Chains A and B, each alone.
Chain A
Amino acid sequence: MITIESYKSENLASNGMSSQSCQARLAQIDPTIGPLLLYLCRIFEVNLRYAIPLST
């Protein structure tokens, strides 16, 4: 079970990530839509770190 603490620490960790790490992570979130997420983040200049949910 994911806890709120683990979520927050995960979020903190992603805040310190490089853009490249974020991209790699985002692409792995879901194999089907990973590339789409990257695309949307790129065209809208959405902060990739924000889009990363915690890993399960």
Chain B
Amino acid sequence: MLEPGRHFTLGNVACAEGALRAGCRFFAGYPITPASEISHHIAAEIPKVGGYYLQMEDEMASIASVIGASWSGAKAMTATSGPGYSLMQENIGYAHMTETPLVLVNVQRSGPSTGQATQPSQQDIMQARYGSHGDYEVIAVSPWSVQEMFDLTVRAFNLAESYRTPVMLMADGMVGHMKEKLTVPENVDVVDRRKPTSKEDTPWGTDDPSGVPPMPAFGEGYALLVTGSTHRPDGVRNFAPEYHQMIVYRTRDKILNAEPKIRDIHKEHLDDARVAVLSFGASARPSYDAVVKAREKGVKAGLFRKRSGRWLTVWTPYWSSR
């Protein structure tokens, strides 16, 4: 791993470093441009900290093994780009239904289909919100720099563990393949998984106001049945409407209620802005440059960029407060 201090490195390497420092000890993936450097770096480094890297046969197997690793007690991650992200959608739904914490990095490239395999884009933002079927809420983070590839990867793990949910890191090929300064801190704040404290705790039900149940792992003495079917708080499959409503509303509400804690908005010059530029990821960089230049020319412009939050509520919190 990179030593604490300043480095000149790639966004994807910064992402991998952030994952390792956040406690990621399992990574499974399938190579795809422009995300492959994350796999390369983690494959080399994760064994040094006692973790495991698996090159899987495809993206479906990748996320499936990440889900399994998470239920085995490991903080786990995969990384892909648009086509692979499409393949993962069914298991993303499974991860939501089973409340499996994991981090899924999407270094977006141009599509549809193979598109421009080596060129960046931000074309998966709707897929991140609506890609899998059913009712679920998504937490995502959106980095605009190499430093944020590190910082927001750490944050993505912390959000995944805090709310027991998959978290999307929606990068783009521009940020992933960008080289610039990265400052690796001596220490990072890491959130660890909340475990059950008694056999009475159920893996999919809680009275805690957060709505987040404690999560046991296989091998810890709990009779675990992890199913994507509608289930009771103890995990046993049951299709009764009340159980489905219970799980769908609780898993939705735990994210909605936490929105103020999840949300992280980067605002520049918005207080007196007549024109607000709303942007994210790499596109926010020229947007910020334009805002600065507009101000120099006497135009009251501002920048709104969401770094993290409930995905696709990009604008509501700001505008509803105006």
- A-B interaction: no
